[in-house]
Structure 1
């Protein structure tokens, strides 16, 4: 692989965790790491007569130190990767979305310096997961480094991209994959009737069998393309959101598509993806189809 992995930094603990993860991602992918800090313009510019420079100058110097420190942290983790450090003016979401156009992956922390402590996820992370033009990985401080990669499978076209992403991550990290498909009688598509005289009837167990086939079909061909990756097929009868959130407790990474098969076409981010982003115990990658 080659390309660019972009990480957004703001000096928070969460963004430093994101730098560490992004450095390893760049190493896996043989990619350049792009460290980006977004410099917001101050509402008022105060002149400092002693140091004879504007508040904006001081902020830019601090921002430069911040990206240099982040780059040094990344280099300590992956010394052989190429690293570029940028300080860009604007709003974080707008700037990082623009950076995603030329990135394989964008990595951010779950919350930044400006977030309220009670929030589970910052607005930049949520917005970028919805609007980013490449996969977006949101890093939390809690992770299980020896755990599997948890893949949420729903059989949607967008979900196929999530399958590829999870398998590539597992191959690079030497991890196994738990492919989880959760279903209920409400979110599973109705199978054609098995008895023409009873159009609303199906044999007991037929719905469960159909959902197991969906999981198998969604993963078709992955064993040939990724022969060294062990994949566990896990079909769960129950709501998708709690099933994924519970399974994320033992995962090193949770991977979901941006929207599932039941979502409205106009939505940028589905309800399952949003719930996993806010409540999963592991880092979460949201992959667009």
Structure 2
């Protein structure tokens, strides 16, 4: 897909880190960057004569313009010549970004290390997008713009696992990075990896078998990585999203940016 890279814009440091990451990704992919700022409309009726952009007197218009201007400054800092568009969209951030992801090649959000799944709390913007987004989602964590390997959670040979593996190989090739494949229990994805190695001969691949719960190993493997990749079923409910035990561990404990790749399940 040649759509833009879409990034959610807020006022937090994690949001600005996501903007810089999104700018690098858009430049690397040769597409534009779309800055999306969501405004939640007040539920109470707006009094007569009150400007529509400022129904509660909180300066929504100025706040939105300021957030987008600051985000564009950060994006220009890392990708000066990048085509950038800005939009203020009415709605909950997760709902807005889910809709925008339908025409995007990649959606980027900041990740906070809190909540039920560590840096990917369910109910957050990141949690909603990984469950319902229509394109790969980058959840930005840790130090951005660093080197290191791309880490793939290989949880079998399903369409979901294949989509994640294809994305991981493509990212490793584009970044000239090594690919570290983590293998868990159950059905092994070695055949998928072997097939993709033939189509990406320049990618150096290392394998590591994870035994038991593997929390410390997963965290350690991602400590110096630039990206971790996991697959999810497309359009899944929140309770169905994290299907593989290894992918679940990587989402919970990865110390780097995580790419969540949706794939359509097979039709029976």
TM-score normalized with structure 2 length: 0.82
Give CA deviations for 1:109-156 in whole Å, capped at 9, x if unaligned: 0139xx88xx74451111111111111110013358221010111222
Query: Residues 6-45 of structure 1 correspond to what in structure 2 (within 5 A)?
Result: 6-43=6-43
Gaps of 5+ in 2: 264-268
Q: CA RMSD in A?
A: 3.0
In structure 2, the CA distance between the partners of 1:142 and 1:46, relative to structure 1 (3 Å rule), is farther
Question: Aligned partners of 1:129, 1:14: CA distance in 2, in Å?
Answer: 17
Give CA deviations for 1:250-279 in whole Å, capped at 9, x if unaligned: 2111101115xxx99x82333644443332
Give CA deviations for 1:23-69 in whole Å, capped at 9, x if unaligned: 111011101111101011235568999xxx65468212211121121
Question: Per the alignment, in what secondary structure is the counterpart of residue 59 of structure 2?
Answer: helix
In structure 2, the CA distance between the partners of 1:178 and 1:106, relative to structure 1 (3 Å rule), is same
Larger gyration radius, structure 1 or structure 2: 1
Query: Residues 239-250 of structure 1 correspond to what in structure 2 (within 5 A)?
Result: 239=213, 243-250=217-224
Match of 2:167 among 165, 168, 178: 165
In structure 2, the CA distance between the partners of 1:83 and 1:150, relative to structure 1 (3 Å rule), is same
Match of 1:268 among 217, 225, 241: 241
Q: Which residue of 1 aligns with 2:266?
A: none
In structure 2, the CA distance between the partners of 1:18 and 1:271, relative to structure 1 (3 Å rule), is same
Q: Verify: 1:175 aligned to 2:184, yes or no.
A: no
Residues 271-280 or 30-39, more deviating: 271-280
TM-score normalized with structure 1 length: 0.77
Gaps of 5+ in 1: 190-210
Question: Aligned partners of 2:228, 2:260: CA distance in 1, in Å?
Answer: 9
Q: Which residue of 1 aligns with 2:101?
A: 100
Q: How many residues align?
A: 251
